[in-house]
Amino acid sequence: MRRAIIRGTGHYLPERIVENSWFEDKLETSDEWIRSRTGIERRHFAAEGQTTSDLGIRAARAALERAGMAIGDIDGIILATSTPDFTFPATATIVQAGLGMSRGFAFDVQAVCAGFVFALANADAMIRAGQADRILVIGAETFSRIMDWTDRGTCVLFGDGAGAVVLEAQDGAGTSDDRGILASDLNSDGKYRELLYVDGGVSATGTVGKLRMQGNLVFRHAVEKLASTAHTALGRAGLTGADVDWLVPHQANLRIISATAQKMGLPLDKVVLTVADHGNTSAASIPLALSVADGAGRFAPGQVLLTEAIGGGLSWGAVVLRW
């Protein structure tokens, strides 16, 4: 049975770091409120003119280097973003050209904060189906471009960045002892659109729009749906929460992450946390967390990793893999 193995991870964060205190003279908020309600301490913002594809290209180069591969080895690029450079073409094709790749496929996936999980599950399916041997999966975002800077309930939460992984096909026995992606679970329920959306778009308004969120309602869905999708994905892999060595969650809010880990019986020292330094980078948050932890040598071969995310749609899902 073909399995998709992670051969390399990489990330890029824009140079500009904005501490919580930056918001204090602009809005009625405080470092104390942001830290205690979200776990966020700082975030990175892209420079003027720095695009989602710029971030994605840098993260992809870093992942290729860690994988010991050249761009010519790659058969396709799947890029998750809700903040594309342009309405079209796909940001993935801009990254493809920037990397000097002129064969294979490149397309975007749009599942907001769950985008990387959706992209990873799709790349895994393509690899197992024999459509590609090596796929670059990228999450890249510039959410600073869709913030309403007068809305304290949203603009303090998000940041910019990109992360990438290189997936490669390898034969496995078809058991949960295999290395690589073991199972995934993807869900969407469009009736919850009003909880988290952008109030502009090509067809509806002809504008870009700003992010709108009913944070406390999303919070409630998040804790319940993340634990449930994690349980489903683990069950499909023939595993339980007790088998998980590392939870690598979407980094939206430390309180959501802690509550989900607790529901799964996982102590916080088994959770990769980057929310303090990155804020919520939407589809980039999981590959950023993977790359930071991998770069620090935290994952050992054979360990079980669980990723999970929820975002606008609502869309949510989980991927289980053996490192």
Considering the candidates 20, 122, 253, 280, report the single residue annotated as catalytic.
280
Contacts of residue 104, Cβ cutoff 8 Å, sequence gap at least 6: 74, 75, 76, 77, 96, 132
> Looking at the DSSP assignment, which residues form a beta bridge with residue 306?
247, 320
- Residue 250 appears among annotated catalytic residues: yes
Task: List residues near ligand UT7 by CB under 6 A.
Answer: 29, 33-34, 37-38, 113, 152-153, 156, 215-216, 218-219, 222, 252-253, 256, 280, 310-311
Write down the least CB distance from residue 73 to ligand UT7, Å: 33
Write down the least CB distance from residue 99 to ligand UT7, Å: 28
Nearer to ligand UT7, 96 or 282 (CB): 282
- Residue 113 appears among annotated catalytic residues: yes
Write down the least CB distance from residue 102 to ligand UT7, Å: 35
For residues 9 and 296, is the Cβ–Cβ distance under 8 A? Answer: no
Nearer to ligand UT7, 38 or 93 (CB): 38
Q: Which residue has the tokens 């493809």?
A: 96
* Cβ count near 102 (within 10 Å): 9
Pair of tokens at residue 68: 């010991």
Write down the least CB distance from residue 260 to ligand UT7, Å: 11
Nearer to ligand UT7, 34 or 62 (CB): 34
Q: Which of 220, 266, 260 is nearest to 239 (CA)?
A: 266
Nearer to ligand UT7, 136 or 309 (CB): 309
- Residue 280 appears among annotated catalytic residues: yes
Contacts of residue 36, Cβ cutoff 8 Å, sequence gap at least 6: none
Write down the least CB distance from residue 159 to ligand UT7, Å: 11
For residues 311 and 250, is the Cβ–Cβ distance under 8 A? Answer: yes
Contacts of residue 33, Cβ cutoff 8 Å, sequence gap at least 6: none
Report the residue closest to ligand UT7, judged by CB.
215
Q: Which of 290, 299, 270 is nearest to 179 (CA)?
A: 299
Nearer to ligand UT7, 99 or 114 (CB): 114
Considering the candidates 113, 122, 253, 278, report the single residue annotated as catalytic.
113
In what side-by-side order are the strands of the sheet with 134-142? Answer: 2-12, 160-171, 134-142, 76-80, 105-109
Would you name the residues annotated as active-site residues?
Answer: 113, 250, 280
